Amino acid sequence: VLSISRKPWRGLTFGTHLEVPRDIPLPLAVERPLPAAAEATAVTGATVASAARSGAAGSATVSRTVVLSKGALFDWDRRVTVAAEHLLARFPDGEPALIRRLSEAIPAGAFVYLGNSLPIREWNQFASTDDRGLAIGESRGANGIDGQVSTFLGWASPDRENWAVLGDLTALYDLPALWALRHLENVRVRIVVVNNGGGRIFQRLFRDDRFQNRHAIGFEAWASLWGAEYHAGLPPGAVGPAAIIELRPDDDQTEAFWAQLAAETRG
Ligand SMILES: Cc1ncc(C[n+]2csc(CCOP(=O)(O)OP(=O)(O)O)c2C)c(N)n1
Ligand SMILES: [Mg+2]
């Protein structure tokens, strides 16, 4: 992820943020097709003033600041990709590996709705890149976590399986949404709740734990309230028309993954 702004910005959980001072033109050259890293030259002399590396306790933000050079961007990107690949195998129960496995388990041709905000970021970074004809949808807007279940159900259609990947707080923000299930005919919906016990994106952005709204709520009762099937973990076999699938990543492994990725790609 490359973000560019005129002002300091600390919201990046992964990638590179470029802060371009007002007196330096925006580096629009990077919008053209990019050459191979070997041919890369600096597109601007703008040195970047702000780093998005967070000092949050026990965690690390894998983002950094660079002098804008295509070669530097690609080299770092490659290093992160290679490091992430071996860490996915080393921490198989952490959230990134769980997202990878989920992306491999969703049947070819399905519609996949990605919720704000970690699910879409983590899918972007860790989902399998095999082309299995998945149709991806999302409602990014201003990153709102409200109405995500409703948006998904409104988008779901009978001609394919419909999957949503949502955070736990995102699901809690839209508890009445499953009312709409009774109005869906011949529509197969699978709502995956990645339950990491709070708004964990904030663990990587802020020092104060209160931002996370930690909780110990499970989602089985949500499924039974609305007559949906419930699965703890990815179901191995056939699933009925409406299912809630709750995935619980291992906290320690998730933290270790991010800390290790930051350590291995620093510099
Ligand atoms: C309507 C709305 N309220 C609050 C926020 C601020 N916010 C952004 S992410 C987030 C936490 C999301 O938690 P969860 O769905 O569990 O995802 P996680 O970060 O754990 O993956 C919150 C409260 C928002 N984006 N939209
Ligand atoms: Mg969460």
Q: What pLDDT is recorded for position 90?
A: 98
C-alpha angle 235/115/148, rounded to 5°? 100
Output the CA torsion sign for 245, 12, 74, 24.
positive
Mean pLDDT over residues 9-28, rounded?
72
Q: Compute the distance from residue 168 Cα to the ligand 1 centre, in Å.
A: 9
The distance from CA 179 to its chain's CA centroid, rounded to whole angstroms, is: 27
Q: What pLDDT is recorded for position 195?
A: 98
Residue nearest to atom 23 of ligand 1 (CA): 199
Is the pLDDT at 166 greater than 90, yes or no? yes
Q: What pLDDT is recorded for position 78?
A: 84
Residues 25, 2: contact at Cβ < 8 Å?
no
Ligand 1 pocket: which of 117, 166, 194, 206 to mutate (most atoms <8 Å of CB)? 117
What whole-number distance in Å separates Cα of residue 178 and Cα of residue 11? 31
Give yes or no for residue 205 CB within 6 A of ligand 1. Answer: no
Is the bond into 150 cis (omega within 30 degrees of 0)? no
Q: How far apart are the first and last CA of the chain?
A: 17
Mean pLDDT over residues 175-204, rounded?
95
Q: What is the DSSP letter of 230?
A: E
Is the pLDDT at 175 greater than 90, yes or no? yes
Residues 6+ apart with CB under 8 A from 9: 3, 17, 19, 50, 52
Q: Which residues pair with 136 in a beta bridge?
A: 112
Q: Tell me which residue of 65, 72, 61, 76 sits closest to 5, measured CA to CA.
A: 65
Query: What counts of helices (H) and strands (E) characterise the chain?
Result: 7, 9
Q: Compute the distance from residue 200 Cα to the ligand 2 centre, in Å.
A: 5
Q: What pLDDT is recorded for position 22?
A: 77
Q: What pLDDT is recorded for position 38?
A: 33
Give yes or no for residue 145 CB within 6 A of ligand 1. Answer: yes
pTM for the model? 0.82
The distance from CA 62 to its chain's CA centroid, rounded to whole angstroms, is: 13
